[in-house]
Amino acid sequence: MTQQKARTVQSDKIYSTLLELKSRAKGILLILYLSMLSIPYIHAQTGTITVKGNVMADGEPVIGATILIKGQSSGTATDIDGNFTLNVASNGTLVVSYIGYGTKEVPVEGRQFINVELTADVVALQDVVVVGYGTQRKINLTGAVSSVSTKEFEGKLISNALEALQGTTPGLIIQQGSSNPGSAPAINIRGLNTMNNNDPLVIIDGIEGSLANLNPADIENVSILKDASSTAIYGSRASNGVVLVTTKKGAAGKVEINYDFQYGVQNPTMLPRIADSWIYAELYNEAAVNSGRPTKFTREDIDGFRNGGYNVNWVRELYKTNTPQSSHNLSMTGGNDQLSYLASVGYLDQNSMFKGPDYGYQRYNGRLNLTHKVKPNLTLYVTSQFARNDIKEHAYWTEWIIEQANRMPPIYPVYKEDGSYNYPSGSNSNGLQRLQDGGYRRNVNDELLGTLKAEWEVIEGLKLIGSTGGRVWNNNMHEKRVAFEGTGDAENKLTEQFYRSKNITTNLLASYNKSFGNHTVGGLIGYAYEGFSDRQFSTSRLTEDGKFDIFVGDLSGANVSNSGGAGDWSIYSGFARATYNYSEKYLLELNIRNDYSSYFAKGNRSGLFPSFSAGWRVSEENFWSDMSDYIPSLKVRGSWGLVGNNRIGAYQYMRTVTTTNDISFGDKLAETALFSSANPDIKWETTRMANIGFDFGLLNNDLNVTIDLFNNLTKDILVNLPVPGLYGFSSPIQNASSVETRGWELSLNYRLKTGMFTHDFRGNIADSFNEVVDNHGTEIIGGYDVNTIIKEGYPLFSYYAYRSDGFFKNEEEVAKGPHLEGITPKPGDIRYVDKNGDGVINPDNDRFIVGNDFPRYTYGFTYGVNYKDFYFSLFMQGVGKRNKWMRGESVEAFHNNNEGPVHDFHMDRWTPNNLDATYPRLTMGSESANNAAKSDFWIQDAKYLRLKNIQFGYIVPRKVIQPLGLTYLNLFVSAQNPLTFTKMKGGYDPEYTADGSGRAYPVTSVYSVGLNIKF
C-alpha cells in the first residue's frame, strides 16, 4: 500500500466515524473538532501483514479491549463484536489488555487471524497504585496507601463523592452530619494530629481541589496516602494525609458514548420523636406541680387531644416527603494512537426537603481530558473541569428555624383557623412562615480547574515532566430577607457578597527508572511552586419595603454595612525520591522535601521533611516454599518520616493595626490605633509518622488481608496559650504543644465462586486514639453550652463536665448531698459526684473529663454477588465508639422555661413510683436548674450501624440490545441510607456533628432507579 493511498483510506475511515458521531451526539462540536485534528499518518512497513482477530472473555466478546504492538505505541481497540484489525510485523507480538482482566501477550508468528481469550484478574484492578507524582505497582508498595476504584461510585444517587467514599477504606473517617443541599461531609485520615486544621490535602489531577465539586462519574481512582513514606513528598501540606484523585481518560479505539441516569426520592433518616399531644398535656401538668406552678390542662382538654384534637409535630411540618433528586451524566471517549479524549457533562438536581419556593442544589459539571502523543517519546496531557454549584435556600439560619419548631408543643396548629400563620407559646416567629414567605438566599459558585502536562522520555527510563495548572473559584451570594409585621422578624434586608480565589501550581520533574538484572532503581527530583490569592467584598442594607430585590440608595449610612478583604500566600518546594528493589523481594524508598513558606518570617520559612520505608516480600524467599500452600503471599513493610502543617492564618508573625473611635477623652471620642499581638518566631508544626504493615494472601490468594499499625507524634503545634490579663493583648500564637496519635487498621477482601454465583466480600475496621502529651502544663477550656478541654494526658477536645451519679431517691439522700453550689435539689433530681469531697459541686473543683465525640472503631462491610446477568450488592458502615453531648431542647423537657418540647424518652421520668427511671423528675423554669447543669447525663452513646447502600441490577443481554444500536444496558434500583441502628435518644441521627442542639437539616435516605447505556 502506498503512503498516499494509506492516508486516503485512513481519512475515509475517520470521515465515516465523524458522520456517525454527528448523528449520535449532535451538539458536542468541540469533540468533533478535536477528532478532526487527530488524523494520523500510517507509514507503510515492509514485512508487515494484516492481522484480524477476536477477543473474548467469559464467553462474551470484549468491547474496547486494547491491542498494542509490543515495543511500539501503535495499536487499536476491539469493536462491538470484539473484533479488531491491525497491521503488524509477521514476527511481532500483540499485547492485549482490558480493565479487570489479565494482560496477554500473543506472538503473531505469521498468522492472519488470532483468537484471544482473556481471564479475569481480581488483582489487576489494584496492580498499579497512584502515589505522589507517579504510580507504583502494588506488590512493590512500601507505604500505607489505600485505593478506591470507580466502582464505588456507580449506582449511587449521591450529591458529592465523599458520600460514596465513607466506609470504603480503613483510616478514612467521613462524617455526614447533614444532607443539606450543597453541604459536604467532614473528612479526616487517621484521626486528629493537631489543634488546628485536620483536613487532608485533596489533589485532583495534580491540582489542589474539592471533592464536593467533582462529578463522581468522572472519577477513575482515589488513592488515600496515610503514612510518611507516601505523604512526605508533599511536605508541609501532608501531616493530615493526602487524597489523590485521578479522573477518567480517553482510550484509543472506537468512539464510545456512555449515559447514566438516576431518579430518586429523599426522606429524612430520622426526625425528633415528639410525644403525642395528650401525653404532652399530662406531663406538662406533672412538671408544673413539681415546680410549684398551677396545672394548665383539664381532663377534658387531655381527652380532647386524644380524640381528634391537635397533635402536630412542628419539626415534621417543615419538611416535604418524597422530595425528588436526580442526576444525568453523559460522556464520550475515543481517539487513536496519537490523540485520545474524554468529554463529559453532568447535571445533579437535589431538591431541598424544606417547604418553600424551589429550594435546592443544582450542580453542572463539564470535563475535557486529552492525551496527545506528539512523538513516540513526547506526550501532552490536558485535563480541564468546570463546575457550577447553584444553591437556593431560605434567607434565615437553619438553626433558628429548627430550634423554634423543636420547642413548639404539639397542641398548637401551624396555621390559625383563618389560614394565617400561628405564633403560639410566646413565640414571635413561625419557622414555616420563614421558609415559605421569608425570602431566599442564593449562592452561585463557579470552579474552573485545569492542568497542562508534558512528558518527554529523553532516553529509555529517563523522563522530564513539566506541568502547570490552576483553580479559580468564584462565589456570588445574594440574600433577600423579608420582615413580618408584628413578629420578631422585623427587618427587610438585602445582602450581596462576592468572593474570588485563585490557586496556581507548577511542577518540574525528572524521573528515572531502570532495571539491571535483578536490580531495579528509580529516582525522582522536582521543583514545585504553589501560589494562592483571594479577595472578597460584602454589602448589606436594611430596606423599608421587602418587595424590592435590587440594591438602590446610598452606599453608606446607618442602614448600610460594607466590608471586604484580600490575602495571599505562596510555597516554593524542592523534593526528591529514590527507590530500589532487588528481584521484587527487597524494597527500599527514600523521600525528602523542602518547603519555603510565606506563612512564617524569614529564618523560619524553610521546613525539611524526610522519610524512608522498606519492604520485604517474605513469600518470595526459598524457605517459604513449605508455607506457600497456606500463605501464598506475604509482605512486611515499615516506614518513618516527618511531614508538616502550616494551616493557620497567614502572616501571624506580623503585628496588625486597627483604628477605632471607641476611646473618649472628656466629652470627645479620639481615634486610636490598636496593635495586635504577634510572634515572629513561629515555625512549622512537624509530625513524625511511623507505620508497620503486613500484606498477605490466603486460600490461593482469594483472601487478601492488610494490617497496619501506626504512631504519629506532632510537635511544635501552633496554639494560643492563655496569658495573664495584665498582658493587655490577646495571646500570641506560639509553637507550644505536642499530640500523639496511635492506631491500627485491618482490611479483608475475599472472592468466592460457587456454581454460577460469584461472591465478593470486603470489610475493614480501624481505630485511632490521640493524646495531648505536652501543653506547657496549661489547660484550655472551650465552649459555652458544651464545654471541651485540652489537657495533657487526654484526647483533644474532650468533654468536660460534672459526672452524674443517679437520682436522689428521697429526702434523706438529698440531705446527705452533695449539692450544686447555691441550689437545693429534691428527690428525683440528678446527683453529681463530689470530686474533691467538700460537699459542694462547682465548676472549678468538680468537673471530669467524660468522653469525646471523635468516632472510633470505624468500619465498613460490602457484599456483592453476580448470577448470570443479575447482580446484588449491600454496603454497611458504622462507628463502634462515639460520645455525643446533646443539649437544650434536643434532650431537656420544657427547656429554658419553654412550653416544650417533650420527647418520647421523657415518659420514663422519675416519680416516687418509678425509682428506676432513665430521666429525672419533670420540672420547668428555675426548678430545672439542678438537672440542666452541664454533666455527662446529657452525653449519649452515638455508636451506630448504617445500611449505607443496597443495589439490585440487571445487565440486559447483548443479543437483546444489539439491534437497538446499544453495546451495554444496565437497569438497577438502589437505596442510600435506608436503615440506621443506634442507641441515640429522641430521634436524632448518630452522625450529627454540630453543637448538640439538634438544630440541623437531617441526613436523608434516597430510594432511586437508574440506567446505564453505552453505544
pLDDT digits (tens, 9 = 90+) for 835-845: 999 999 999 99
Residue 14 pLDDT greater than 60, yes or no: no
Give the Cα separation of 906 and 883 in Å (integer).
Answer: 20
pLDDT score, position 59: 66
Where residue 545 falls among pLDDT bands split at 50, 70, 90? confident
pLDDT band at 715 (very low <50, low <70, confident <90, very high): very high
Is a pLDDT exceeding 80 seen at residue 658? Answer: no
Q: Is the pLDDT of residue 31 over 60?
A: no
The predicted structure's pLDDT at residue 950 = 96
The predicted-structure confidence for 159-186, as pLDDT tens digits, reads as follows 999 999 999 999 999 999 999 999 999 9
**Which residue reads 452524674 in cell numbers?**
804
* Three-class SS state of 467: strand
CB 669 within 8 A of CB 661: yes
d(CA 526, CA 541): 51
Please give the pLDDT value at position 280.
Answer: 96
Angle between helices 299-306 and 277-290 (to 10 degrees): 150
For residue 90, the model assigns a pLDDT of 85
How much is the pLDDT for 666? 67
pLDDT at residue 581 tops 90: yes
pLDDT given for residue 47 in this prediction: 67
Pair type for strands 462-481 and 439-459: antiparallel
| % of the chain at pLDDT higher than 90 | 69
pLDDT over 80 (residue 42): no
| Residue 734 near residue 678, CB atoms below 8 Å | no
- Amino acid letter for position 588: L
Give the bridge partners for 593, in sequence order: 575, 609
Tell me 281's DSSP state. H
Q: Which three cell numbers stand for residue 106?
A: 500473543
Would you tell me how many other CB atoms lie within 10 Å of the CB of residue 598?
A: 16
Place 466 in a pLDDT band, splitting at 50, 70 and 90: very high
The yes-or-no verdict on residue 781 having pLDDT over 70 is yes
CA distance 384 to 448: 8
Task: List the alpha helices (DSSP H) in 727-870.
Answer: 811-816
Is residue 467 predicted with pLDDT exceeding 60? yes
Q: Given the DSSP bridges, would you call strands 242-247 and 219-225 parallel, antiparallel or unpaired?
A: antiparallel
- List 115's β-bridge partners, or say none: 54
Question: pLDDT tens digit string along 584-596?
Answer: 899 999 999 999 9
**CB-based contact 695:637 (threshold 8 Å):** yes
- Phi-psi label, residue 553: left if phi above 0, alpha if psi -120 to 50, beta otherwise: left
In angstroms, the Cα distances linking 838 to 226, 817, 822, 835 are 49, 10, 14, 8
Taking alpha carbons only, the member of 501, 773, 776 closest to residue 650 is 501
Q: Check residue 836 and give its pLDDT.
A: 95
Percent of the chain with pLDDT over 70: 92
| Res 488: pLDDT | 85
Residues 6+ apart with CB under 8 A from 160: 184, 185, 211, 212, 214, 216
What single letter denotes the amino acid at residue 343?
Answer: A
Binned at pLDDT 50, 70 and 90, residue 313 comes out as: very high
Mean pLDDT for 414-435 is 90
pLDDT at 730 (0 to 100): 73
pLDDT tops 60 at residue 604 = yes
Q: Using pLDDT thresholds of 50, 70 and 90, give the confidence band for residue 727.
A: low
**57 pLDDT higher than 50:** yes
d(CA 707, CA 726): 53
Would the pLDDT of 139 be above 90?
no
For residue 818, cis peptide bond before it (omega within 30 degrees of 0) = yes
| All cell numbers assigned to 1003 | 441526613
Grid cell 485511632 in the structure block, residue: 768
**Cα–Cα nearest to 219, from 13, 397, 383:** 383
**Which residue ranges form the domains of the chain, and what is each CATH number?**
3-123 (2.60.40.1120), 125-254 (2.170.130.10), 266-276+311-801+854-892+932-1014 (2.40.170.20), 804-846 (no CATH)
Checking DSSP bridges between strand 788-790 and strand 798-801, what pairing results, if any? antiparallel
pLDDT tens track for 876-888: 999 999 999 999 9
Please name which of 611, 778, 775, 885 lies closest in space to residue 194, comparing C-alpha atoms.
775
Average pLDDT, the chain: 89
Which among 31-35, 323-327, 492-496 has the top mean pLDDT?
323-327
Measured distance CA(210)–CA(363) in Å, rounded:
14
Q: Which of 101-110, 378-387, 713-722 has the highest mean pLDDT?
A: 378-387
Please check the confidence at residue 975 and state whether its pLDDT lies above 60. yes
716: phi > 0 → left, psi -120 to 50 → alpha, else beta; which? Answer: left
Looking at the predicted structure, is the pLDDT value of residue 22 above 50? no
Q: Distance between CA atoms of 56 and 118, rounded to whole angstroms?
A: 6
Distances (CA, A) of 777 to 336, 736, 797: 66, 10, 16
| 919 vs 806: CA distance, rounded Å | 10
Greater model confidence, 815 or 666: 815
Residue 555 pLDDT > 70, yes or no?
no
What confidence score (pLDDT) does residue 250 get? 87
| Cα gap 389→183, rounded to integer Å | 11
77-81, 124-128, 723-727, 823-827: range with lowest mean pLDDT: 124-128
Q: Count H helices, E strands: the chain? A: 10, 51
User: For the CA atoms of the chain, what is the radius of gyration?
Assistant: 32
- pTM: predicted TM-score of the whole model, two decimal places: 0.86
* pLDDT at 78 (0 to 100): 83
Cα angle: 850, vertex 855, 858; to 5 degrees: 140
* Mean pLDDT, range 201-222, rounded to an integer: 92
Alpha-carbon span 27 to 703, nearest angstrom: 48
Least confident interval from 37-51, 79-93, 355-369, 499-513: 37-51
Judged by average pLDDT, the poorest of 164-178, 220-234, 643-657, 710-724 is 643-657
| Sheet architecture: strand order including 66-69 | 75-77, 66-69, 93-98, 101-107
Average pLDDT over residues 205-210: 90
d(CA 950, CA 959): 28
- Nearest of 138, 96, 139, 133 to residue 118 by alpha carbon: 96
CB atoms within 10 A of CB 888: 21
Read off the pLDDT of residues 80-107 as tens digits, 9 standing for 90 and up: 678 888 888 888 889 888 765 777 889 9
